[in-house]
Structure formats: C-alpha cells, structure tokens
A and B are shown apart, each in its own frame.
Chain A
C-alpha cells in the first residue's frame, strides 16, 4: 500500500491502520481504539468510538465530559478546537466534525504530510454542535455509514414539520420518538424548539443524564420532564423521546396509544422502518449522506482516501472511478449504531 520513493522514508510511515484503530507509533497513541490502551485520542463520545478503560484520554472538553458521564472519571487532557499539541513527533489539532456535541476531526501533521481522521461527521446544520470544518490534506480518513447513493437525507425541517403535524392531528395520542441517547435526542429537541414548540417535552430516564450534561455545556433544550410516574392521560398530545430500544418495550405501555416515530438515517429505507415497527419514520441522521460524503471528498480533494466503517466498497469504488486512491481500513467494533 505504501509507495516508496528512492532515498526517502515511505509516505505516511508515521501513521498505521490496525483493525483495532489508527496508531501513531512515535506517540504510542491510538485514535478511537476498540480496546483499552494507554493513550487514546477520541473523536467523539459514541460508544463505538469512545470506549471505557483507557489509561489516558485526549479529546475535546465536551467529549471528555460525555465519557465521564458514561464511564466515570477519566484521566485525560482536553484540547480545544484549533489548538495544536505535539505528541511524539506529530502535531495534533482538533477541528469540529459537526456530528454531535464535542465531535472532532483529528488533524495530524508530520514532515509536511497531513492526515485528517474525520471520525463520524455530517455537513448539515445542527444547533447542538459546531459545524464541520473542511481541512485540506494528503489523506482523508472518512466514515461510510450511509455510503450508498440511496441514502439522501432530506432537510430536517420537513421531518420536524411532519412530526408536529401528526401531534396536531392526533391530540389523544402521545408521539413517541426513538432517538439515540447521545446527540440525536438533543438535536431533535433543539430542532423542535427551533420550530417554535415551546411546551415541555417528556423524556425516558435513559436520556436524562446526557440531556443534563448538554445543558451544562451550554446547549439550550427548554423544559424537559421525566415520563416516570405520569399517568397515560397526562401524556396525551405530548411528545416523548426515548432510546430506540424502548420503542416496543414494556416501558412504552405507559403511553396513551403512542404514534411510534424513529429518528434515524436508516428510516430512508421502508423495509428497515417496517422491521422496527415504526409508524412514522423520520429521516434524521447525524452522519453524512451519500452526497455529503462524496461532496466532502471532492471539496477537500485529498491525495488519498481511507475508509473506516460502513459501506466501504461503494465509497472506495466511487473514489477509484475518479482516480482518487482509496482503501478500506476494515476497523473492528464499529457498528451501524441506532443513528
């Protein structure tokens, strides 16, 4: 894979891709490792990127706070967006990825070579996090969660409008939205607020701590109330958010004949939505869709693209058709999370 040029060190010899993560030998540091390590650089707080048990963690302040919320106290160092830190013989800078609160791309430079590990990202506006910042580079490491041309996420405003219309039309039913507990739930809440929904929103207990944390970190979410202890009649006509696993669980029985909605990029495909028993699929994703993935690669115009997880084959094919060198990294442990 590496190209040798006579008399020179091989290109990008200072960064290695292993099944368990991307490794920087000179710093003995791993980016988003799948197993506990001494020194981890974490792009964002989702559990398939931020695992517990690392000895030290380097991440944005927000990502560290999310990890502490999930795994308890972390020994680590926070790095603000735009600040540079030398680790080993590599300069590390974190820039916003637009995925969830605190999400960052790791910009790595050494000897005139620049590699951007983008983690998970999206290009759509999101009131709960800083927008993705494109950085020119030699190697762009990208995700491929929705890397098929059938995935085109519609504008979120239309999805939120449908949700509010359903609530209006069925005042006797609760609207139950399944949303990933970190990022998606808070984004849906913030978008509801942005659409003028001012009243209280009701949340499943599993969302409480992360919503509290978002607020501590300065994200406005308005009034949130726990569902626990309420009678079905008190939830008629209300909007309730819960993790996807609770949608068809016994927990949902306490809601009055709920309209089951699910906020996820997978909802674009009818069969996926039907499998989940969803009545109202909301195509809302925190990942880049096909146009965002290919558009970002065109915009950044990297010399090489490394694809981490998802539908790698399609994105690699697309790059090669355009004479862009591309390869699959086949990392372990990355999931099609309930995006």
Chain B
C-alpha cells in the first residue's frame, strides 16, 4: 500500500504526460503481483468496490477526534478524505502496513455493516499518505489526473508493448490482470478477447502536405465533420466506441439498437440536418448529443443520429483488416444490405483523376458536415495508428479572422511562467470589443516570448491569475468553424481556434467586426 500511495501522491503533483507515464511504468515494473494488477485497475477505473459513504467516514473520525477540531480542520483543508487522512491519530510509520491486495480484498469482501470496523482497522495500520489512498479507493474517486488510456499506455511502455495491442487484449482480461502481466513479461500466452465486444484501435490519417503521391493508387472520400465511431456487434452484444476507445453506447441508444449484424465497422457518427432524413447537420448539432449519459426522448427526436460507414474490420468472425482497401470496400457494400437504412449509409467515393479537380471539389464543398477530403491507398490494409503512405486527410483551409488580444492567463507545466492563454475579441458596430474565443496554441517559442513580453508590459488590470491588456495587439486567429453560442456575449463560439499570425503591422481598429464572423457561421 505504501508504494501505491506514493505513486498516487506523485501523480497528483505531476503535470507532464511523459513524467506520469514514467511514474506509472516504474511502479508496474517494480510492484509484485497481484498488487500492481489492482493498482492498474484503480487507475483505469475498472476496480469496482462497494462504495463507503462519506457519512460512515465522518462517524469514524468523530469517535477519534474532537469534533470542533475536526470541523475547523475540514474547513481549512476542504477535502474529506484528505482531512481524515491527516487528522487520523496514528503512528507516522506504522509497524506492519497491509499490502494493496490485502486492502482491496478486505474492501471487496466487507458487508455494509462491517464497513466501519474494517475501515478503522485499515486506517490504524497505514500512514497519512496511504490513509488518503485508502479513503479515495473506498469512497470511489481517485482523481489523480490519469485517464484509462494513459494508464494502459504506461503499462505498454513499461513492458515495451504496442499500446494498441494492449488495448485490443484489454477487454479479454480482468483485474488483477494476472494473465496480462504474464503475457507482458513473456511468461504466458497473449490473452484472447474471444467473444467480447472489444475496441480495436482506429486507423488514422496523416495530413496531406506534399502532392508527390500518385492519385491513381488512391480512392477519395469526403472527410465528414462528426465523431469517428467503431461499431461492434459480437455474441449478441453491441458497443459503440469513440476514437479514444471510450464506450459511448449509452449516449447513442438509437444507433446501438439498430445495429445487430455481427461484425466491426468504422464510420462517422452524425446527426440529421434541419429536415428529418435530410443531410447531415453541422458538428454543433452533434454536440447536443455528446457527453450525455442518458438521452431524453426529445433529444432522440430533435437530433437523430446515424452513421456514415467507410470501412469494415470484421465480417462476423472473419478478420478483414489484412485485406486491401478495395476488398474491404466491396465487403462493406455487401454488408450494407444487413443494415437499417435509416441509421446507416455508405460514405460515397469521390471520383477524381488529378489534384486540380480534387482541389476544385475541396473548395466547392460547402456542406456543413464536410471537413475536407480523405485519400486512402487502394491496396492498403487496415492498420492501427498513423502509418505513412496509407491514409491522408486534406482539410478545407481554415477560416481566419483578425482579433484583438483582451486578456491573458498563465499556462501550465513548462509554460507556468508564461502568459500563454489568450482571450481575444472583435468589434461590434458600436465600436465595443467583445470576446469571441480563447487560444493557447499556434505560435512558435519565439512568438510566445514576444506575446508574454507584450502582456507583461501592457497590463491594465489584474483579476487573480488573469491580466487584462491594452487593446492594441492584433492576432490573426485560424479556426475550423464558427457557431452560434449562448455562452458568450458575442453570441459566437469558434471551433479549434489557434493563433496563426501576430499582426503587429495592423492597428487594432482595423481588426474584424463581429458581423464578419457571424457571416461565417455554418
């Protein structure tokens, strides 16, 4: 438990992703079985323990500590688990602290009535850090800034495995992952996912930069502005996975319920446009459906989802991934006959012979749901990740606007000494500046130095960590699209804004009007 609690403690204070990977990896290599397996389960959110109510913890501490002193301490610290961990009267270095596996075992087996006694016994045997870890485990909220994907990547890194490979076997294993660790250390076979509806890592595209590819080797499709989704149906179960491998089945029950053909498909999740059964609506409409755990009937009616398919990974049990794209495309077209046409359609191929024609198409695409073009090598297999030469994305040129810097805030981690997050605005007809977005990327290191210097030398007011600056610096901001939004006073919100140029040459008064942006709303 000591090693695990030290790991959690270090993760809380670590901001850099690589440092987190190193910390987790070092722990997973050094810790014994089955402790490390339980730790991995805790980090990936797959450790299910009967939750101990905060009221039980409060009652326990009330027996040990003067309630007035506890109350004053809790007010100061602000977090129940941390207050109890720090205030619990116990030895600074307990004689025989339990192992993580022993703690997990006790927590799993205890009944509701036993919880107070079990928790007391464990708290008495742990130091302050480990008490904190125990309380976080028992009350069910780790919050150490580690996603499931990051923990799995750290596991892969520790044992020199391909993260995608780990992702693929993941659903065939369960805590404390004895088979997984045995495989990772070369002592056991690769765990097979068998009949589980598991996630297979997506094939991704490189941005098209040079045009030195032979177009006749490639098929072209529109690039849809929705959510990449993997549909899995196996053993009577259906799952929808997002690009990160998160299970989003519950957010899209309408799609999940109508997918009942055994196989694994790849496509773009979209919602219907203004008219029922019409074309795809913009990403903004899709956002109404995102991130919801439960979906109301009104949501399902107003924003009906469908999937535009473009690849097939499995047809029943048959793995088609080694097949060339042309073969998979034929199999997908055949597969379409088993699907509900209201919920699924086929992403059409775009016929092109040369770049000039393609360029015309790309520029001409005004459909809100089109983001650009995809080029896919006809003889390419389906491989996870971004492989050179197989898939290319050719996005529409971003939109740009000249905005005026209004506020700046310090960044995080390596950027904590720089003002690197900027809020910028455009002019109203009355000559008032209103914020239209916030960006913290797109500039070079030298430009960051220059922007930081500008903020420090032109601050007019401070609001906590935020500085208001003189409204004199024009930033050219690139963004993928702009939408109506109730959140901002300007009534607009940009999608993926980034600083494309610093326009020191341009007077602030000549920056764009809000009206100009409003005309770009898709």
Contacts and interface: CB of A to CB of B under 8 A. Distances in A.
A252 B69 CA distance: 39
Given A249-B417, A311-B72, A279 B87 contact: no
Given A257-B414, A274-B12, A278-B13, A150 B92 contact: no
A273 B13 contact: yes
A45 B439 CA distance: 46
Contacts of A150: 73, 76-77, 83, 86-87
Nearest to B81: A270
A320 B24 CA distance: 48
A311 B77 CA distance: 13
A149 interface: yes
* Chain B at the A interface: SS class: helix
A321 B66 contact: yes
Given A271-B77, A279-B13, A313-B72, A252 B86 contact: no
B82 interface: yes
A217 interface: no
A317 B68 CA distance: 8
Contacts of B216: none
B65 interface: yes
A48 to B, nearest CB: 20
B12 A252 contact: no
B12 A148 contact: no
A152 B92 contact: yes
Interface string A278-317: 1111000000000000000000000000000001011001
A123 to B, nearest CB: 15
A311 B76 contact: yes
Nearest to B414: A257
B417 A148 contact: no
A152 B131 CA distance: 15
B77 A318 contact: no
Contacts of B82: 269-271
A279 B14 contact: yes
Nearest to B84: A150
B416 interface: yes
Contacts of A155: 92
A177 B65 CA distance: 34
A281 B77 contact: no
Given A274-B12, A274-B13, A279-B14, A268 B72 contact: no
A281 B13 contact: yes
B78 interface: yes
A199 interface: no
Nearest to B15: A279
B79 interface: yes
Q: Which of B70, B92, B417 has the most CB of A within 10 A?
A: B417
B227 to A, nearest CB: 33
A277 B87 contact: no
A198 to B, nearest CB: 28
Contacts of A318: 66, 69
A204 to B, nearest CB: 14
Nearest to A271: B78
Contact of B92 (A154, A248, A268, A278): A154
A207 B417 CA distance: 21
A280 B416 CA distance: 15
Interface in A234-281: 248-250, 252-253, 257, 268-271, 273-274, 277-281
Contacts of A269: 76-77, 82, 86
Contact of A314 (B13, B15, B72, B414): B72
Interface string B65-101: 1101110110011110011001100001000000000
A253 B410 CA distance: 14
Contacts of A314: 68-69, 72-73
Nearest to B413: A277
Contact of B73 (A149, A250, A270): A149
Contacts of A249: 417
Contact of B416 (A149, A248, A268): A248
A280 B72 contact: no
A249 B416 CA distance: 8
Interface in A311-339: 311, 313-314, 317-318, 321
Contacts of B76: 148, 150, 269, 311
Contacts of A154: 92
Contacts of A271: 77-79, 82
A104 B68 CA distance: 32
A148 B73 CA distance: 6
Contact of A268 (B14, B70, B78, B86): B86
A250 B448 CA distance: 13
A250 B415 CA distance: 10
Contacts of A252: 417
Q: Which of A149, A252, A280 has the most CB of B within 10 A?
A: A149
Given A150-B87, A274-B13, A253 B417 contact: yes
A149 B77 contact: no
Nearest to B9: A270
Contact of A152 (B65, B79, B86, B414): B86
Nearest to B128: A152
Given A149-B70, A311-B76, A317-B66, 4 more contacts: A150-B73, A152-B86, A250-B417, A277-B416
26 contacts: A148-B73, A149-B70, A149-B86, A152-B128, A154-B92, A155-B92, A248-B417, A249-B417, A252-B417, A253-B417, A269-B76, A269-B77, A269-B86, A270-B79, A271-B78, A271-B82, A278-B13, A279-B13, A279-B15, A281-B13, A311-B72, A311-B76, A313-B72, A314-B68, A317-B66, A321-B66
Interface of A: 148-152, 154-155, 248-250, 252-253, 257, 268-271, 273-274, 277-281, 311, 313-314, 317-318, 321
